[in-house]
Every structure is written in C-alpha cells, then in structure tokens.
A and B are shown apart, each in its own frame.
Chain A
Amino acid sequence: MIALSGIAKRFPNGVQALDDLSFSVNRGEFVSLLGPSGCGKSTALRLAAGLLTPDAGAVTYAEGKPQIGFVFQDHTLMPWVDALTNARLPLDLKRMPRDQADARASAALARVGLSGFERSYPRELSGGMKMRVSIARALAAGPQLLLLDEPFAALDEITRNALGDDLLKLWREDGLTVLFVTHSVSESSYLSQRVLVMSPRPGRITADIALPAGRDSRLSPATIEAQRVISGALNSAIAA
C-alpha cells in the first residue's frame, strides 16, 4: 500500500534524521516501527503521511494516496470544543453536511467506547479518554491507512493495554492498514504482524521481523518468544 525507498532527511538545524530508509507496508498489514528514542521514527511517519518531503528517495502509494488517519503521541484535541466536534474535524474540513458528519463522528466515538461523552469537553475527560477521542477523530475520516505515533506512550499501563486491544479489534473489523510507531518491545510484539527495527540516528531499517501467529495474549509463549527476537534485533541495532 505504501513504500518508502532510499529516504534521507536532514533538518534545518543540520541533524541528519534519516539516511537511506526503505520499507513497505502491504494492504491490511499491522506493522510496528520500533527504535530507540530520537532515531527518526516520527519523522518517517510524517514522511509517510506526506507532512514532510524527503531530501532524497521517494514515498510511493501502490493505489494512489490512501485516506490517512493520523494519531499523535499527544491527544492534540481542540480544548475549545466538545468530543463530538473534535471527532468531526476531518469531516468539517471536507465540508460534509452537519447531520451526516455528526452521525459519522458519533459512530466513531461509539467504536472507541465513548458513547454518551459526545458533549464532554477534553478537560472533562481522562488521559485515556482523550486518546480515544483522538483515535475516533482518525477513524471518522474513514481511513484506509492509519498512522500512529507512539499513541499510548503517555498513558498508564492498564489504559495502554485496553487501548491496544481496542486498536487490534478496529484493525481486524475495518480491514485497516496500520503503521504503528513505538519504542515498546512488548507493545510491538503483541500488536503487530511485522516489526521494523530502526537504528539510532540517522535511522534506517536494520531488521524486518515477521511475527508468527498464536500471540493471543500478552503473556502467551509466542508473544514472549517474539519479544525475545525483537529485543535481540533492537540490541544489535543499537550496538552496531
């Protein structure tokens, strides 16, 4: 669905964030992009979304640019409007008629378990609920490709696990393609089908690990084994 090939990106302050980064994500896949802090994961995700342009290399979409849903590490909600209006933002920007947009936004909120909170303002919601609104906003756009930038990093473990399970469910039910940036080995081992391990800056892919089926829970032997393999690849990426 999306391929990045030979990407290089240098920031105006002279930092070479990415150098010769190449990977692709197939339609319907759940792929994690895993790497140490500051390795350029977020930059790669922004390039994938078309929010940044690469200095070298290209981002290509197999079937034309898909509808993209983007979820940031921070909830990035508008504090001055309620949850429904926040979730409706992509539809409002497309000038969809109000009643139709409202229906889709409430449906998206219901899918992340926030029925009844349509009229709540962000400050009245917990951290996990704010992140759920943020995910609902991405879903409201009807995305084919969902890009998430460490969405659960700021949440406590219980909330993080609950949201991870919900994300898996959404991915299965909607046939989404998911590219999930994380620095958590355990998150990537449980959630994704494939893990791309990145080196420290300038970031490039050092391992492309396809995970076997059978990781039904966070503690199943297959998940633990996947964690061992991913940790090994991450350690050698950092050491290299």
Chain B
Amino acid sequence: MKRLADITLPLVVAALLLGAWEWAVTHWQVPAYVLPAPSAIARAFIDNFASLMEALASTLTVTLEAFLAACVLGIATAIAFSQSRLLERTLYPYAVILQVTPVVAIAPLILIWVGFERINLALVIIATIVAFFPILAGATLGLKSADFNLIDLTRLYGASRLQTLWRIRLPNALPYLLSGMKTAGGLALIGAVVAEFVAGSGTATGLAWRIVESGNRLEIATLFAALALLALTGVVIFAALSLLEWWLLRRWHESAISAS
C-alpha cells in the first residue's frame, strides 16, 4: 500500500502540473518560443526522436565511461591511502583542490591539452574529475572505519595486508562506497553536460549540445524535450545505483534492510 502511494502520488502531481501548464499556455496564449505547451514538447520529442536518441547515446557513453573511470581511480586511490598514511597525508589535499576548483574553469584547459580531435576523451576526463571525489571520500572513510578489534584478530591469525584488505576492509567499505557512487553517478552526468557546453559547437554531439543548438534556433520545444530526457537519464542512473546498493547490502546492512 505504501509502495503504491510512493509511485502514484508523484504521478498524480505530475499529471496535475502538466495539465495546469497546458491550460495556462493556451489560455494566456504564451508564445511557443517562450514556453511551449507539454503537448508541443511531446510532439517535438517524437519529431526529433532519432536525433535525440543519438544525442542521448553520446552523452550516456561519456557519462558511463567517466563514472567507471571515477570508480576505478577513486577506489584505487582510496586503497593506496588506506595502506599508507604518508601517501594519504601527501596527496589528499590535492584531491580536495581538484574537487573544490569549479570544473567549468579547468574544462577549456583540458580541451586544449587533449585536443578537439579527441573530443570524447576530453569530455570523459572532465566528467571523471567531477565524479571522482565522492567515490574517493566514501571509499577512504569505509576502508578506514573497519572495526579495529577485527583487524587485530586478523593480525593474530597471521593475515597478510592483502587478506585484511580483501576480507575486512573492502566489505566494510562497501556501504560507504555505494553511497559515494550514488552521488558520483549524478555528478558524472553533470560533468558530461558541462563538458559538452564548454566544448561547444560542431564538436560535441550530446544532449547538452542539442540544448544549446535548440536555444540558438529558438526551438524551445526541442530544448525542453532534450532537458526532460536529461532529467530522466539522471533519475535512471540514480535508481540503477540504488538498486545495486540494495542488492549488495540486503542481507546485512541496516540501510538496505530498513528500506525493504
């Protein structure tokens, strides 16, 4: 019953809002280049379906590649930090600097360095930088927060560092890591979009580029269609990672148990 309400209530709100929107646009005769009606957006979506899907595929590819790269780099760095306090002390400040510097500001530099002929690589690098930090922070906290009595026990039984890492630290880090991954999934998409904006005309082919292009041509309905697709993509990424989190933690972690 509660599950049903979780799904139906937001849908009812959406229907009401879209209805009010449609009514308001027709009633006050709002020009389509300012605010198109939902029906016009739907029409634009259908008319441009092929090209929008192409753009979606492009943005999604960059997002997923960046997300995977951020996962690999974030986890590897966190493992290195967990094995060497010195390394963590030395490098963590730079990870923070990378995080707090607005990526829009470094994006042009990366585009120049990587070159416009390898535009996709540049986009992936920019999106990776955006998505990297939550994974590093989550994994680092998780690896360090293992029960020290349990660590002592593995020492008592002569475990190697690798055994302790594999059997204790990594499983213990999983809830923290998955939480970081949920944030990073959304950030990878944002990073991809920002990178496309910066890359600009003629080179990028993703949804963000479609938004810029539609805006320039005053095809506002198409712009909205691309925007809706982008939002939907973000929701799907979040839902997929939440499902992964639930599936991995369902047997043992409070967060997954109370949610089911």
Contacts and interface: CB of A to CB of B under 8 A. Distances in A.
Interface of A: 46, 49-51, 68, 70, 72, 74, 76, 78-81, 89-90, 92-94, 121-123, 141
A92 B153 CA distance: 13
Contact of A79 (B155, B157, B158, B252): B252
Contacts of A141: 157
Interface string B237-260: 000000000000001111001000
B246 to A, nearest CB: 14
B78 to A, nearest CB: 18
A50 B156 contact: yes
Contact of B155 (A51, A76, A81): A51
Contacts of B252: 79-81, 121-123
A76 B171 contact: no
Contacts of B159: 93
15 contacts: A51-B156, A68-B156, A72-B149, A74-B149, A76-B153, A80-B172, A80-B253, A81-B252, A89-B154, A89-B167, A90-B157, A92-B167, A93-B157, A93-B158, A122-B252
Given A76-B147, A78-B150, A123-B257, A93 B251 contact: no
The B contact surface, by secondary structure, is helix
Contacts of B174: 80
Contacts of B257: 123
A76 B168 CA distance: 11
A76 to B, nearest CB: 5
Contact of A93 (B147, B152, B154, B171): B154
B149 A93 contact: no
3 residue pairs, one from A and one from B, having the closest CB atoms: A90-B157, A93-B159, A80-B171
Contacts of A68: 156
A70 B154 CA distance: 11
A78 B156 contact: no
B26 interface: no
B163 interface: yes
Contacts of A89: 153-154, 157, 167
Contact of B152 (A51, A79, A90, A121): A51
A198 B148 CA distance: 26
Contact of B156 (A70, A92, A121): A70
B160 to A, nearest CB: 8
A78 B146 CA distance: 10
A94 B157 contact: yes
Interface in B144-192: 147, 149-150, 152-159, 163, 167-168, 171-172, 174
A123 B258 CA distance: 12
A49 B251 contact: no
B245 to A, nearest CB: 14
A101 to B, nearest CB: 12
Given A51-B152, A78-B171, A141-B157, 7 more contacts: A50-B156, A76-B153, A80-B171, A81-B171, A89-B153, A93-B154, A94-B158
Nearest to A149: B149
Nearest to B160: A93
